[in-house]
Amino acid sequence: MIQEVNLTVKPEFTTQYQDGYPLISKESVVDWSKVKEEGTIINLFTQTKKFIIKGYHGIQNKGYGWILTHNQDEKIDVEYFAKKIDSAIQYREDFYNDNATTAFRVFNGEGDGIGGLTIDHFNGYYLLTWYSIGIYAFKSTILEALKSSVSYKGIYQKKRFDTKGMYLDDADDFICGDKASEPLIVKENGVNFAIYLDDGAMVGVFLDQRDVRKTIRDKYAKNKTLLNTFSYTGAFSIFGAIGGARKTTSVDLAKRSLPKTKEQFSVNYIDPESQDIIVEDVFNYFKYAVRKKLLFDIVVLDPPSFARSKKHTFSASKDYVKLLKEAIQITSKDGVIVASTNSANFNMMRFRDFIHKAFKELHGKYKVEESFSLPKDFKVNPKFKEGDYLKVVFIRKLK
């Protein structure tokens, strides 16, 4: 049973919530002790008992909860969630009507009005991702709402919170409907992807890079060599190869990346043996490439925000300049570096500073060809800039 409690906001935080800032921070509320568990509905009031917002308590690294409505009388029930999901679907109408792309995000957390929850669509299957115990407490209500709003082949889930010590009767990722084939083949701008909805934390593709992949295929790849670092299942390599790249080289530390990348080539009728797929620490690979005097026409850099390997710790905010310098050295003149980061710790301006610094330190020259942020289906809340995490810059190396 979902509880509901009234809490008091510190005066200095009142206006930001009134203005639509969606994340409820720990320090903004006086009396958290009244809240017994995550998933509790919380009504925030000023010290003079004026209602400000209604939200829910859910702990994520980002905060202590998310705003649900500015209307005190609104009930957080099936109807509430269905209304949010319906308007999210309406916003993605173009995607539903596009046969060339069958994988896209339907609901993007606070961008669609409810932080802590995303819903992705994969060729008729839906994947719900719960980012806290708090939002997961609404599972049955949200499921009922989703079922009333879409026709589906099957519904899956991922829990992105610590389940240790919790009793869960739904340890499985599969929830209801038909099970998807393994792999499930979906399309993105006409290209196939092999997706696994029930095989660990990740399904095989990061949908937020869709426009970047298309750009590489349509405008950059033809007759070029492409090095894809932190390649995961090789999605950038696949688009490069289909765009006419002479050869792609994918480098990732994870052993599973090799069979996964081979599979992605195969489902697109490209012989994986015609491409290089290397399981290695990219920082070692850079050393090897410099020693062998290898040069690539396109170098894709898409590291995680933070990663620890046996020899290296990489943090995007601290080490991106270093990473760029490595890449610049093995990019041919007039070649292009596709520099990407999903770190919410810095914005595009700072990212452009990193690029500037890297070239300056190597006495190089460059030109920014174009840049990308999140695609349309990853709807962003204008009041929550942190949600606009993706930054991708196409950099031409001039010297």
Question: What tokens appear for 176 in the block?
Answer: 């209801």
What distance in Å separates the CA atoms of residue 317 and residue 307, rounded to the nearest whole number?
12
Question: CB-wise, 149 or 228, nearer to ligand SAH?
Answer: 228
Binding-site member from 129, 132, 231, 343 for ligand SAH (CB under 6 A): 231
Binding-site member from 59, 267, 307, 344 for ligand SAH (CB under 6 A): 307
What distance in Å separates the CA atoms of residue 54 and residue 66, rounded to the nearest whole number?
9
Q: Does 326 bind ligand SAH (CB under 6 A)?
A: no
* Nearest approach, Cβ of residue 204 and ligand SAH (Å): 8
Q: Does 206 bind ligand SAH (CB under 6 A)?
A: yes
Binding-site member from 174, 175, 270, 304 for ligand SAH (CB under 6 A): 304
Q: Does 312 bind ligand SAH (CB under 6 A)?
A: yes
């081979």: which residue's tokens? 262
| Element housing 390 (H / E) | none
* Nearest approach, Cβ of residue 189 and ligand SAH (Å): 14
Q: Does 235 bind ligand SAH (CB under 6 A)?
A: yes
* Nearest approach, Cβ of residue 141 and ligand SAH (Å): 33
Q: Does 290 bind ligand SAH (CB under 6 A)?
A: no
Q: Does 254 bind ligand SAH (CB under 6 A)?
A: yes
Q: Binding string to ligand SAH for residues 256 to 275, with x set by CB under 6 A, is what?
A: -x------------------
Q: Does 302 bind ligand SAH (CB under 6 A)?
A: yes
* Nearest approach, Cβ of residue 369 and ligand SAH (Å): 19
Q: Does 252 bind ligand SAH (CB under 6 A)?
A: yes
* Nearest approach, Cβ of residue 235 and ligand SAH (Å): 4
- The burial of 91, by beta-carbon neighbours within 10 Å (0-12 exposed, 13-18 middle, 19 or more buried), is given as middle
Give the CA distances from residue 188 to residues 196, 197, 232, 388, in Å, rounded to whole numbers and listed in that order: 15, 16, 17, 22
Q: Does 230 bind ligand SAH (CB under 6 A)?
A: yes
Q: Does 232 bind ligand SAH (CB under 6 A)?
A: yes
Question: What tokens appear for 219 in the block?
Answer: 């405008």
Side chain identity, residue 383: K
Q: 125-130 and 117-122: which strand pairing?
A: antiparallel
Binding-site size, ligand SAH (CB under 6 A): 21
Cα dihedral 240, 245, 246, 251 in deg (nearest 10): -20
Contact region with ligand SAH (CB under 6 A), list: 131-139, 163-171, 225-233, 315-323: 225-233
Task: Answer whether 189's CB lies under 8 Å from 210's CB.
Answer: yes
What distance in Å separates the CA atoms of residue 34 and residue 187, rounded to the nearest whole number?
48
Binding-site member from 209, 248, 343, 381 for ligand SAH (CB under 6 A): 209
Residues 105-164 that bind ligand SAH (CB under 6 A): none
The answer for residues whose C-beta is within 8 angstroms of residue 145's C-beta and 6 or more apart is 78, 79, 80, 81, 82, 84, 85
DSSP string for residues in 303-363: --SEEE-SS-EEEHHHHHHHHHHHHHHTEEEEEEEEEEE--TTS-HHHHHHHHHHHHHHTT
Give the binding site for ligand SAH (CB under 6 A).
Answer: 206, 209, 230-233, 235-236, 252-254, 257, 281-283, 302, 304, 307, 309, 312, 314
